[in-house]
């Protein structure tokens, strides 16, 4: 079974508009009317759980939820057949807003809240739940930001507990929370570079810098490191090789990028759990991410569409020097 941990989930509120007005004359000119809107459970691990459930894979979503937004998340996940085991907290779960302008959906306007403050007592309740879940877990996903009140070392702690219990660990995070998990040697690392395109002290502006950073992380014990290079391309670094994943799909074809990166990682995980070769897992993952990006739905788990996208995805293996 897979356990996904999203310590700082969100309600994803999305608005589709014909044109986003930005004016400075009168209040009336600022009004942008949405042609439609929608809300869904969000957060990196939450999105992964939704996709895995669509693939028929047994998984449990964990983390913190609170207030009305927390109820929205739980209800939405259960409606999508995701098993939940969240800890309820006193403060309200955050809401993130995305605005998609017609013709420019590939460059969405994203507004994210920092989220609630989690108390020491609430964190301890989560630790107890998490430790109980490890008796059933073969994989553990630690994804997204760390909420206020929680030390950045929490993912390192949870990763260590998971490995001691015999589970493989997947990490998708950023900043200090990500860096500290390297001490626990997670199996698969997918750095979140949406806020800052840098890693291991390197500006990720070129494939050479991405490969260099990936090799440093792999040297610390990770079996695989996947780092986004472009919207339609990623680079995976293992102990033996560098693999470049690409597709010719133009970004202008994308209708909704929210959650697509999480689906990409979930697709890789799904295939690895099924025992697929690494190259197949990477092709499937990017194809799944593309299917979601080209759909109005945040998470697209339609196998026919994913398999069609796989025909467009290539993986080029670049052996290391001396390998």
φ, ψ (nearest 5 deg) of residue 275: 90, 15
Please state, in angstroms and rounded to a whole number, the distance separating the CA atoms of residues 96 and 116: 13
Low pLDDT (below 50) residues in the chain: 321-323
Q: Could you tell me how far CA 253 lies from the centroid of its own chain?
A: 21
What is the torsion angle, in degrees rounded to the nearest 10, for the CA atoms of residue 137, residue 143, residue 149 and residue 152?
100
- Scanning the structure block, which residue is given the tokens 């995305």? 98
Largest CA distance in the chain: 66
**DSSP H/E element including 306:** helix 303-310
pLDDT of residue 26: 63
- Alpha-carbon distance 188 to 163, whole Å? 13
Quote the pLDDT of residue 323. 42
The two three-digit tokens of residue 196, written as one number: 């800052």
Q: Is the pTM of this model over 0.75?
A: yes
pLDDT of residue 321: 44
Q: Are the beta carbons of 37 and 30 closer than 8 angstroms?
A: no
């Amino acid at each position: 079974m897979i356990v996904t941990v999203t310590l700082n989930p969100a309600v994803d509120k999305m608005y589709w508009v014909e044109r986003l007005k930005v004016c400075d004359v009168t209040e009336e000119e600022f009004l942008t009317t949405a042609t439609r809107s929608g809300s869904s459970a969000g957060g990196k691990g939450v999105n992964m759980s939704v996709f895995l459930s669509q693939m028929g894979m047994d998984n449990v979503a964990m983390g913190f939820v609170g207030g009305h937004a927390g109820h929205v998340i739980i209800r939405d996940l259960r409606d999508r057949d995701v098993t939940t085991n969240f800890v309820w907290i006193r403060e309200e779960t955050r809401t993130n807003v995305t605005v998609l302008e017609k013709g420019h959906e590939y460059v969405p306007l994203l507004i994210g809240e920092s989220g609630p403050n989690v108390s020491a007592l609430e964190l301890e309740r989560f630790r107890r739940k998490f430790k109980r879940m490890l008796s059933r877990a073969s994989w553990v996903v630690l994804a997204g930001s760390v909420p206020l009140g929680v030390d950045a070392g929490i993912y390192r702690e949870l990763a260590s507990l998971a490995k001691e219990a015999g589970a493989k660990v997947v990490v998708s995070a950023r900043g200090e929370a990500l860096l500290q998990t390297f001490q626990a040697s997670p199996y698969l690392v997918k750095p979140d570079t949406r806020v800052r395109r840098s890693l291991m002290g390197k500006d990720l502006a070129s494939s050479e810098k991405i490969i260099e950073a990936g090799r440093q992380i792999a040297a610390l014990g990770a079996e695989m490191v996947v780092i986004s290079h472009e919207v339609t391309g990623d680079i995976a670094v293992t102990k033996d090789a560098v693999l470049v994943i690409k597709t010719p799909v133009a970004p202008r074809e994308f209708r909704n990028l929210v959650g697509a990166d999480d689906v990409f990682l979930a697709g890789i995980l799904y295939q690895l759990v099924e025992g697929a070769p690494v190259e197949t897992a990477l092709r499937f993952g990017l194809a799944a991410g593309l299917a979601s990006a080209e759909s109005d739905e945040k998470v697209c788990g339609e196998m026919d569409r994913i398999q069609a996208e796989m025909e467009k995805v290539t993986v080029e293996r670049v052996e290391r020097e001396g390998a």
